[in-house]
């Protein structure tokens, strides 16, 4: 029956309230708003209350980032261009757009270049007119079938090789525009994801690469890195950061995870029976450290917080949420966690984390815990015994972290034929193959050499780290990978060291190769030579990590590369001729003044 009179005012009011309630419910569930009764936002996840756009309330878990952006602008400050780009377009909602662009064979333009990094795709022009793709491999662990599949995918859609990074991770390079989505789909088919591996996100979670096979470790850490990885992927708040973020778990074993260079470091320690309390029974715990960013000359610093292993994930999540709320969104150079800590102090920051958690974090005097000091700087190279009887692992030397697809398939075959099918990447840009029977060691050695790889390394090659360099990165001022190999060849032809001297080459101030923690750290620059500008380096000395923690200091500025190998040889010769008995390079460099080191080089040149 029709009603010509329409709805009464009471009925209209009821229907309006019902529609508004439906909009709120759908917005909370991230569904499109149907009636537009509340003034929905573009993505259907916000409702305007009171009819004013500035009163729009984000309702999803990611609202803490949106609120932080709003509070920044309300305070009279201007969002940096990257924050403005994230505000205008959610980077996680670009799948169809990226597919259409890939179908057209086009690269992104404008702020889409930045936003697409959230999916792991970096357009690296002008260094290369192609994409780089970074993956997420929690704890650096992958399986032989995955490595072989990654090699095949590289042959089809990338450059036919793989790069191992300083976060125990893998990268593709030379990806054509029309292959971008083939890469993203292909990775997922191999149970590998790249989501959040670039942009303002939490990067690959690292762990001790010998987790579970190191007889001297205090606790396995790869399981924690994997849990952290899945926690991040399934928590939308973890994508709203003001800047990139790093998390590492170190189990106190023989290969360092470099946890003190991360925004959050979890370092395993032991509380012995004589120091145990009711609150802290005897056992293994994690010390919480915060604010590591060696590119800005700072290590993660102790908080005095001691955590049970089962507390780490929730505490990390709370730390990230506090950072999302209070990190700087106006200046990219000051947007890392370190600067919140510098501004607030640790006590205020930890109090905010406790408020987020709804509980007090447990404190324990760091001097009362037992620290592990068993790190072996050569444990990532060559054959070593595992905790499991009759088993060994091999650390394979990868020239500055790069392997061809054929080599990757060969390594996968070795892991299948002689190991348990595992491949473990390290922060030293190489990989390990574990669970090799003692009886098979000689055959594995032969197979590695047949691939053009090696299990042996000089003390220079063992500690050699290099970023991508100008051949693949628009920021780099020098061809670091090529130069690293030339330096290693030059030095190993002159010296035979008992322990490694780490040489880190990074192409720019972003310090992807962490030049400040190298015994010798080289930062790329351009140097005027005659009428030309040539590749060169600023030379730093005396960096270290862990028990030998130190930020390398600048010794020589703007040295043309063709002079660098001899300069480094002079420094090392001066060290060998003038060191005290048993003195390490960092101890020697710390003991000597800059002028003394320079004079030694002048004398030995």
pLDDT in tens, 584-604: 999 999 999 999 999 988 755
Residues 6 or more apart whose CB falls under 8 angstroms from that of 156 comprise: 179, 182, 186
pLDDT range class, residue 25, cuts 50, 70, 90: low
Say whether pLDDT at 282 is over 90: yes
Q: How does pLDDT run across 232-264, given as a tens digit for each residue?
A: 999 999 998 999 999 999 999 999 999 999 999
pLDDT at 301: 95
E strands present in 438-519 = 464-466, 503-506
Q: How does pLDDT run across 383-437, given as a tens digit for each residue?
A: 999 999 999 999 999 988 999 999 999 999 999 999 999 999 999 999 999 999 9
Say whether pLDDT at 24 is over 90: no
Q: How does pLDDT run across 431-467, given as a tens digit for each residue?
A: 999 999 999 999 999 999 999 999 998 888 888 999 9
Say whether pLDDT at 605 is over 60: no
Q: Is 371 exposed, middle or buried (0-12, 13-18, 19+ CB in 10 A)?
A: middle
pLDDT at 93: 94
Q: Please tell me the distance from the alpha carbon of residue 15 to that of residue 20, in angstroms, as a whole number.
A: 8
Averaged over 517-521, what is the pLDDT? 94
pLDDT at 18: 55
pLDDT at 474: 86
Averaged over 85-96, what is the pLDDT? 95
pLDDT at 39: 42
pLDDT mean across residues, the chain: 91
The strand pair at 520-529 and 503-506 is best described as parallel
Residue 114's SS3 state is helix
Poorest-pLDDT segment among 24-38, 519-533, 545-559? 24-38
pLDDT at 251: 98
Sign of CA dihedral 572, 578, 583, 587: negative
Residue 557's SS3 state is strand
Q: Please tell me the distance from the alpha carbon of residue 568 to that of residue 571, in angstroms, as a whole number.
A: 5
pLDDT range class, residue 60, cuts 50, 70, 90: confident
Q: Please tell me the distance from the alpha carbon of residue 428 to that of residue 463, in angstroms, as a whole number.
A: 7
Residue 464's SS3 state is strand
Averaged over 271-286, what is the pLDDT? 96
pLDDT range class, residue 46, cuts 50, 70, 90: low
Averaged over 498-518, what is the pLDDT? 91
Residue 141's SS3 state is strand
Say whether pLDDT at 13 is over 70: no
Given a contact cutoff of 8 angstroms between Cβ atoms, the answer to whether 528 and 522 are in contact is no
pLDDT at 49: 44
pLDDT at 499: 84
> How far separated are the first and last CA of the chain, in Å rounded?
104
pLDDT at 50: 44
Q: Please tell me the distance from the alpha carbon of residue 304 to that of residue 315, in angstroms, as a whole number.
A: 14
Averaged over 113-120, what is the pLDDT? 98
Q: Please tell me the distance from the alpha carbon of residue 292 to that of residue 240, in angstroms, as a whole number.
A: 20
E strands present in 351-491 = 382-385, 391-396, 402-404, 422-425, 431-437, 464-466
Half-sphere exposure of 178 (CA within 13 A, CB side): 4
Helix (H) or strand (E) holding 450: helix 441-450
> What are the φ and ψ backbone dihedral angles of 112, each rounded to 5 degrees?
-65, -25
Q: How does pLDDT run across 120-166, given as a tens digit for each residue?
A: 999 999 999 999 999 999 999 999 999 999 999 999 999 999 999 99
Q: Please tell me the distance from the alpha carbon of residue 168 to that of residue 166, in angstroms, as a whole number.
A: 6
Averaged over 479-494, what is the pLDDT? 93
Residue 136's SS3 state is strand
> What are the φ and ψ backbone dihedral angles of 238, each rounded to 5 degrees?
-75, 0
Q: How does pLDDT run across 319-373, given as a tens digit for each residue?
A: 999 999 999 999 999 999 999 999 999 999 999 999 999 999 999 999 999 999 9
Vertex 459: Cα angle to 426 and 168 (nearest 5): 10
DSSP state of 579: P
Poorest-pLDDT segment among 37-41, 275-279, 339-343, 512-516? 37-41
Q: What is the share, in percent, of the chain residues with pLDDT greater than 90?
A: 82
Residue in 556, 550, 558 with CA at minimum distance from that of residue 600: 556
pLDDT at 59: 72
Say whether pLDDT at 27 is over 60: no
Half-sphere exposure of 223 (CA within 13 A, CB side): 5
Helix extents (H) in 158-221: 180-189
């Amino acid at each position: 029956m029709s009603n010509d009179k329409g709805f009464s005012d009471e009925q209209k009011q009821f229907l309006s309230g019902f529609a508004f309630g439906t909009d709120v419910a759908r917005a909370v569930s991230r569904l499109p708003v149907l009636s537009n009764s509340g003034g929905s936002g573009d993505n259907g996840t916000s409702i305007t209350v009171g009819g004013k756009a500035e009163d729009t309330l984000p309702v999803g878990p990611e609202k803490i980032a949106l609120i932080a952006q709003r509070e920044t602008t309300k305070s009279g400050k201007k969002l940096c261009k990257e924050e403005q780009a994230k505000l205008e377009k959610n980077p996680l909602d670009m799948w169809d757009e990226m597919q259409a662009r890939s179908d057209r064979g086009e690269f992104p333009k404008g702020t889409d270049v930045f936003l697409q990094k959230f999916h792991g795709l970096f357009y690296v022009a002008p260094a290369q007119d192609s994409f780089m793709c970074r993956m997420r491999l929690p704890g650096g662990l992958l399986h032989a079938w995955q490595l072989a599949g990654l090699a095949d995918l590289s042959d089809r859609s990338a450059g036919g090789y793989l790069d191992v990074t300083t976060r125990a991770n893998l990268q593709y390079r030379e990806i054509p525009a029309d292959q971008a989505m083939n890469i993203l789909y292909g990775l997922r088919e191999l149970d590998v994801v790249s989501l959040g591996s670039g942009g303002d996100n939490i990067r690959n979670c690292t762990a001790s690469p010998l987790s579970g096979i190191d007889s001297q470790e205090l606790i396995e850490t790869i399981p924690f890195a994997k849990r952290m990885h899945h926690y991040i992927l399934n928590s939308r708040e973890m994508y709203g950061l003001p800047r990139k973020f790093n998390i590492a778990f170190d189990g106190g074993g023989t290969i360092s995870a470099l946890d003190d260079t991360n925004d959050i470091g979890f370092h395993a320690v032991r509380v012995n029976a004589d120091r145990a309390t009711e609150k802290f029974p005897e056992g293994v715990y994690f010390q919480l450290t915060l604010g590591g960013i060696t590119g800005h000359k700072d290590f993660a610093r102790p908080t005095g917080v001691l955590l049970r292993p089962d507390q780490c994930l929730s505490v990390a999540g709370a730390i990230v949420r506090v950072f999302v709320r209070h990190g700087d969104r106006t200046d990219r150079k000051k947007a890392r966690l370190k600067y919140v800590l510098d501004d607030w102090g640790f006590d205020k920051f930890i109090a905010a984390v406790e408020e987020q958690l709804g509980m007090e974090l447990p404190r324990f005097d760091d001097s009362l815990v037992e620290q592990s000091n068993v790190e072996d700087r050569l444990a990532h190279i060559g054959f070593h015994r595992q905790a499991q009887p009759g088993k060994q692992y091999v650390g394979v030397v990868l020239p500055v972290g790069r392997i061809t697809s054929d080599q990757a398939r060969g390594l996968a075959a070795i892991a299948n034929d002689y190991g348990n099918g595992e491949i473990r990447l390290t922060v030293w840009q190489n990989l390990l193959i574990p669970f090799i029977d003692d009886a098979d060691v000689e055959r594995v050695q032969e197979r590695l050499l047949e691939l053009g790889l090696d299990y042996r390394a000089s003390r220079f090659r063992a500690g050699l780290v290099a970023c991508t360099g100008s051949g693949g990165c628009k920021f780099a001022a020098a061809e670091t990978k090529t130069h690293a190999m030339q330096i290693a060849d030059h030095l190993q032809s002159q010296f035979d060291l008992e322990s490694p001297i780490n040489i880190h080459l990074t192409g720019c101030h972003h310090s992807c190769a962490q030049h400040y923690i190298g015994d010798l750290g080289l930062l790329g620059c351009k140097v005027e030579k005659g009428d030309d500008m040539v590749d060169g380096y600023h030379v730093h000395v005396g960096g270290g990590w862990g028990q030998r923690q130190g930020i390398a200091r600048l010794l020589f500025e703007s040295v043309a590369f063709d002079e660098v190998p001899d300069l480094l040889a002079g420094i090392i010769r001066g060290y060998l001729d003038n060191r005290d008995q048993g003195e390490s390079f960092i101890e020697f460099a710390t003991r000597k003044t800059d002028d003394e080191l320079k004079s030694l080089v002048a004398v030995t040149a």
